[in-house]
Amino acid sequence: MSETKTFHVGDILSITTGKLVSPDHIGGVYNILGWLVNEDLMTHQLPRVSRECEGFLREQFPDLPTEAPEFDGKESVFAWLDQVVAEHGETREVPRMPQIDHTHIDPLQELHLLKPDAEIIPIVLD
């Protein structure tokens, strides 16, 4: 049996719908993506890793919505999320994504790939 971790459906839907609906906001996105690929991710890696994980999450949870409506403020986000929770439950056990489905890229190398002209100055702490 594969290892799982409990996540709010809003964390999952933030990846599968492309709209930030996690009750933990961007922290929920960092947490679920980091769990899925077993890495600590940096901000610039989130879009790519989210695309990698989207199909996997849709396969795991085919009953969850694949689209979210256009929202008019935070209240409408949470009203929609409350409806989803009422229909589908609040949390899900999420397994890790197979390693073969994720491409590990060193965060600094990826930043250089995204912004080749940017000066990147790493800070090394003792």
Model pTM?
A: 0.87
- Rounded to an integer, what distance in angstroms lies between the CA atom of residue 86 and that of residue 50? 25
Q: Where are the domains positioned within the chain?
A: 4-114
Report the pLDDT value the prediction gives residue 22, as an integer from 0 to 100: 97
Report the pLDDT value the prediction gives residue 1, as an integer from 0 to 100: 55
- Averaged pLDDT, groups of 10, the chain, 126 residues long: 91 97 97 96 93 97 95 93 97 95 76 77 82
Q: Exposed/middle/buried for 11, CB within 10 Å: 0-12, 13-18, 19+?
A: buried
- Rounded to an integer, what distance in angstroms lies between the CA atom of residue 97 and that of residue 36? 5
Report the pLDDT value the prediction gives residue 19, as an integer from 0 to 100: 96
DSSP letter at 82 equals: H
- Type and span of the H or E element at 42: none
DSSP letter at 48 equals: H
Report the pLDDT value the prediction gives residue 104, as an integer from 0 to 100: 83
Report the pLDDT value the prediction gives residue 23, as an integer from 0 to 100: 96
